[in-house]
Structure 1
Amino acid sequence: MNKIFASRPLLASPVLASLLAVGSLFGGAAYAQDTQPIDRIAAVVDEDVILKTELDRALANILSQYAGRSEQLPPRDVLERQVLERLILVKIQVAQALGTGVRVGDPEVEQAIAGIANSNRISVDQLRQQVARDGSSFADFRSSVRDELLIQRLRQRFAQTRVSVSDAEIDAALAAQANSGTQYHLAHILIALPEGATPEQIATAQKKVDGVKALIDKGEMDFNAAAVRYSDSPNALEGGDLGWRSMDEIPAAFAELMRKMTPGQVTEPLRGASGFQLLKLVEVRDASQSGPKMVTQYHARHILIRTNDNVSDAQAKAKADTLRARLAGGAKFEDVVKESSEDLTSQTKGGDLGWFMQDEFGPEFGGAVAALADNEISAPVRTQAGYHIVQRLGTRQSDVSDQSKRAQVQETIGRRKLEEEWNRFLREKRGEAYVDFRIGKGSEQNNPPAEPAKPATSGG
């Protein structure tokens, strides 16, 4: 079924995870506007700027996360450049999103903020007070949430247009997993090389990665601290953590190594497309599934009224209320679908969506369906796509073991492809962007940051 109206992102992490990350790096003040006249510009990014106060807030947030562990952080100037580069990438992604027509309405921002408050088990008013205690304005926090949503939606569009997973790929991965459900928790350190690296650049990077490995082997620095201090990867400030990966998510060149390693081990330097890497096997677990997996499935039909640049939230809600009133007055559901529904895929089937699991079309839609009795019609339900009027037709218990496995494998392969393509896309956009550093090293020239400081080693 082509679920084009679904609010669930395809091959992308949930929006809420990105929103919660707002506080972790940007401190809710990624785009300060009400600054003092003396505020300096830290960097110019195309037609936008990053203010010194923005950078200072982001730095302060990182420092607070490493309170008591400051020795794990790189020198101040290197950390400042790492954080500034992240802020630059945010600016570039937001501009790209807006330039390609991505928009986020006020109701979506409010819904996301409510979700952040709920996940922290506080009210929105308490969240507002917390933001103020952290030294930020709520307007800045709203702006950062909106930008995170824009980036998430850009990434979703990118996945839908650039990433595809064939049935043959899924079949091959399932065959490879037949005798192994093992997953690996990995971390890495990347010493990057530019495209077309010269022999001198390769030799310098090789010396640096060897030095980092020597520090780890001697116990002078743990892996996470070395990643924060020396890695060129976007996840350096997270200690290089790559999370859990199944074997089909690990490049073939590294997969055999993982099978032979024990938790805690670190590979020798590995040469890849992006440069030299050190990989650490953190943990191993058995994620295999056995036996039937019974889930509740729902059968429902719906009417969709979309929101877009030409239809406001209030207009869509008013139209949905009118249609709901017609149904209450005795109008046939399939007739209203034919006349008014804007989900073209289900419109020709009377709005019928077939059988699906609760969260298949997103939490808002699924929650509304689960709350209905069979044949009951809902009030208008707001999702990312617009307003839905839903009628639940039935429920059943179903064994989805094979279906679930295929979906998981598809998600795994898609996530790996998306990660590779998205990182390549960001590097391309970063290279095309005009960036003028106004503070720190290199502020006199428009260049990407220099390599992080090399570790001292016994070999010089």
Structure 2
Amino acid sequence: MKTLFKIFTLTIATLSVSSLSLAKEVELDRVAVIVNTGVVLESEVTELIDNIKQQAEKNNQTLPRDKALRVQVIDKLIDDTLVLEIGNRMGVQVSDAQLDETISNMARENNLTLEQFRQAIVKDNIDYEKYRENVRKELISGEVRRSSVRRRIYISPQEIANLLSVMKEQTNSDVEYRLGHILIEFPPEPNQEDMNAAKVRAEKVIALLNDGSDFARIAIASSGGAKALEGGDLGWKNINEMPTLFSEIIEGKDKGTVLGPIRTGLGYSIVKVVDIRGRQVVEIEEVNARHILITPSIILSEAKAEETLKGLREQIISGEADFADLAKEYSDGPTSVKGGELGWADPRSYDPAFSSALAALNVDEVSQPFRSSFGWHIAELTGRRTLDATKQMNENKAHQLLYQRKFGMESARWIKELRDEAYIEILAQDSE
């Protein structure tokens, strides 16, 4: 028994020493920072520092000393923890499908397949699953920041107008206008009656141009300007190259604009903005349409709905019935009381099937019955027009620029407020 006890004691002692030795060899993670009810682990700090150093080495970038770098990294991780804490309270989630789509987009931006992208991550000695989860955290953080900061930003119409003015001044030298010019001349030594008569002729010319008459043809026939035989084409000029009288009224005008009559020493000038280059011009097409909608139901089959519309179309085509009257009688939905009128709209705003049907029609043509997600339709295209959306584009651009400026400032203020209200304790780093 004594021998067995000695063996048992020796075994326990050996195991204890081995366990103690093993414990010394295993480096346990530790808490680097306490943030409210959460923590930042030392392994997270080390991992981010290593990643930054690795990227800096790749890009031949100089980094600050390790102590300064560690301060920056800890600050970022504290901010991330606070934001993710809010995300948890808000219930913000990123599904695996959303995450996969984001990473696939990142791969495409780098001209890589998803598998090639994954291999590149692994080649950089980064755990791919950890990388995925970090991307998920970044997506959640981004959504929380946007939703929290957006409501703090207000952009006034005056701010947009002021920025547009600055943008215009910065781009004026790059914008060129191709101008058409018609001069309704005064006779030599004109009296007031001559000048009045010239103005009347100029106003008649403007009325013709606004009604769609050909500018070049009228210029050749009626203009007393030096470029009359060239259709009044003055060529490309920027604001600084134009006569002052022209530049004052041309600046900022859209393609196709006819201006005048402008009184000069020679007579009355009429100017048309034939084209613009050096600035982005955005045009959108709008369509005007009306429709009759029949929605299938338990008592009205798909086939019956289609057949009814075929009959209505035949009545419209033959002239037996008016489209609006039939729409009021048969059409489902809110447009029936207006005779099926939809008004002017961007066709892209419609159901894809409806948009495709309109695209295939000529003006005043009635479609064959077609199915959309709402039911069966016949549609008539009553008009098509192209609008210059450049002004709206520039206003949107100005709004976006102002938003981005304010977002950066407000985001910094928001984070500062979060930190001021949070419990944050940075624990001392173990001395080595």
TM category, shorter? 0.3 to 0.5
Q: By percentage of residues, which structure has more helix?
A: 2
Larger radius of gyration: 2
